Amino acid sequence: MNSNHQWPTWEVFTQKKQGAAHEHAGSVHAPDAEMALLNARDVYGRRQEGVNIWVVPTNAIIASTPEDVGAFFDPANDKMYRSPNFFKTADGLKTI
């Protein structure tokens, strides 16, 4: 296959257990959603990694740029009060 005719890529998100957040696992090539799902299963789900898979066309993801770092993230640096650090949580609570 000519490198100019590669299938489009899809981003793969796997869920480790029910209720947990889907996490980015990597990407696969596929011509459509069904094959993207099958390929994602084969590449990222073959070692019991999870219970659910999402695939999303890579070009559907809108990412912030490196230039955005300052405006997006720096203002949070000196505002501890925005973090929920000071709340007491029940013992044994793991998913927060």
Partner 1 sequence: MTELNIALIEYCLRIADNSLIHAQRIADWTGHGPILEEDIAMSNVSLDLLGQARGFYTYASQLEGNGKSEDFYAFHRGERDFRNRLMVEQPDLKDFGFTMMKLFLNGCFDYLFFRDLMKSRDETISGLAAKSIKEVTYHVRHAGDWVVRLGDGTEESHQRIQKSLNELWPFTNELFEQNEVDELLIQNGAAFNKKELKVEWDAMVNEIITKATLIIPSDKIYFHSGGINGVHSEHLGFLLAEMQYLPRMYPDAIW
Q: Give the footprint of partner 1 on this chain (CB under 8 A).
A: 1, 7, 28-30, 34-35, 38-39, 41-43, 46
CA 41/CA 9 separation, integer angstroms: 15
Residue 36 beta carbon to partner 1: minimum distance, rounded to whole angstroms? 9
Nearer Cβ to partner 1 (8/75):
8
Nearest approach in angstroms of CB 38 to partner 1 is 6
Nearest-approach distance from CB 54 to partner 1, in angstroms: 17
Amino acid symbol at 43: V
For 51: left if phi > 0, alpha if psi spans -120 to 50, otherwise beta; the answer is: alpha
Please state, in angstroms and rounded to a whole number, the distance separating the CA atoms of residues 13 and 55.
6
